[in-house]
Structure 1
């Protein structure tokens, strides 16, 4: 019988856009298929900003043993068949930050949402930072609409909700906690900047940090109108386990 590949998603609280040491991206690529993986960057949430794509290619070509590429959609060149073949050939799909709601809308127009689900089922490692972390869950806490708000139509590959930038952006933590307490958002996962969380077959299997105090949190209703917030033990990348 054929072996069913694991379903894997990595949420990043950092990466090439925030971290000069490349530790989180090194950790990510350690989980890719093979020693020289193909890594496709999707800059959709930034409107396919050229500088963002160039930055990705520069960093991944110079620092990491992989085959990087970029897939633009605002000036799309591939037809449906070629687009599907290209994405399914990737070992890693890495989604950048920007506007989560706009990105999901563009993906759906081009059928990228369906292809990513197929890639996920085939064992491609899906990952991203900020909007690129939000998109995989059922729901997320986002500033796509200006003020922080609940977005409830994510791809749903990961149950619950996601909140990035938990420790670094004013209002993120209290606003997310309030949304979960009010059940505007389902229970979920909050990431401080500098952390990473790997989910395998829907559950967290590894959490890491490159900053000793940074953590990944499980946030869920406490049944009394508030929330329970639990910090997960994070291994210090290149170091030992955190408290």
Structure 2
């Protein structure tokens, strides 16, 4: 059982012009918490900014965005002595939501594995903690993803695998995302997967896609897959056709 995971292609407080105004995707995330454990009945939400090197501005943005709506904390792997209570596992397991920020997917995965956070998150999800994230925080939960961790966009077939297939965030937000992802799935560099425009999130429960939601009218989500068998040319593998199957997207209030 992998629990509940919300993967955001973009949006939420990370991309909000005014972080003091609640973002619809963040409100939706909080609504997924069934029995909040924080003071005053607020959900406990822990921000993990590993992908950005625990950037102070990102942490401040999170704190501002969730002020008064959640009991907030931060899990700073670059400043390990600042982990609340000094116990990574205990702190994560006490959360209602773990919210992963954007940045370098490759660096995030490497550090999580070094500190054992990947296994702790699996344990937390199975125990009922909602996992969520944007951009790199979307990529990390799948088997693979498109990343700019190494400069130009490329395949990273090395995700945590809590969710099936591959992922591509910012599908309409960055010009090269869509053509690169289509090519990587078409050649088999990445498995069939899911793409989300900025402002769109995919909700998963126990490895099954439940729905796609959006805080932007007209934004989309897609299942990207090879429509034909791969052709072996001897030098390279090429796809007969790559298909984008649009998912139904519910617009959030």
Shorter-chain TM-score above 0.5: yes
Would you say the 8 A contact 2:211–2:248 is kept in 1? no
Q: Distance in 2 between matches of 1:215 and 1:143?
A: 22
Task: Provide the residue aligned with 1:229 in structure 2.
Answer: 244
Query: What CA distance in whole angstroms lies between the structure 2 residues aligned with 1:198 and 1:75?
Result: 31
Deviations 1:33-81 (A, max 9, x none): 325210000000000101110110111014xx21111110111025998
174 and 23 in structure 1: CA distance in 2 versus 1, 3 angstrom threshold: same
Q: CA deviation at 1:6?
A: 6.9
Counterpart pick for 1:16 among 6, 13, 17: 13
Equivalence for 1:241? none
In the alignment, the residues of structure 2 paired with residue 99 and residue 41 of structure 1 have an alpha-carbon distance, to the nearest angstrom, of: 16
Shift of 1:14: 1.3
- TM-score normalised by L of structure 1: 0.91
Partner secondary structure for residue 105 of structure 1: helix
SS in 2 for 1:11: strand
Q: Paired residues, what number?
A: 232
Determine the C-alpha separation between the residues in 2 that align with 1:206 and 1:38: 24
Q: Tell me what 2:235 maps to.
A: none
Matched, 1:106 2:111: yes
Whether the aligned pair in 1 keeps the contact of 2:170 and 2:196 (CA below 8 Å) is: yes
Deviations 1:155-183 (A, max 9, x none): 11001000000001011101100100101
SS of match in other structure, 1:34: coil
Matched, 1:132 2:147: no
CA displacement 1:81-104 (0-9 Å, x = unmatched): 811000011110000000000111
Of stretches 99-108 and 203-212 in structure 1, the one that deviates more from structure 2 is 203-212
Select between 78-87 and 101-110 the one with higher mean Cα deviation.
Answer: 78-87
Map of 1:86 onto structure 2 = 91
| 1:74 equivalent in structure 2 | 78
For 1:121, the equivalent position in structure 2 comes to: 126
SS state at 1:197 partner: strand
Q: 2: distance between equivalents of 1:91 and 1:57?
A: 16
State the alpha-carbon separation in 1 of the partners of residues 64 and 84 from structure 2.
Answer: 27
1:231: how far off? 1.1
| TM-score w.r.t. length of structure 2 | 0.88
Does the 8 Å contact 1:6/1:123 carry over to 2?
no
Change (3 A) 1:92 1:113: same
Say what the alpha-carbon RMSD is for the aligned residues: 1.7
Structure 1: any 5+ residue segments left out of the alignment? 239-243
* Uncovered stretches (5+) of structure 2, i.e. residues with no partner: 37-41, 230-239
Deviations 1:156-214 (A, max 9, x none): 10010000000010111011001001010000010000111100111111211121210
Alignment of 1:204-243 (within 5 A): 204-224=209-229, 225-238=240-253
SS of 2:183 mapped into structure 1: helix
1:196 equivalent in structure 2 = 201
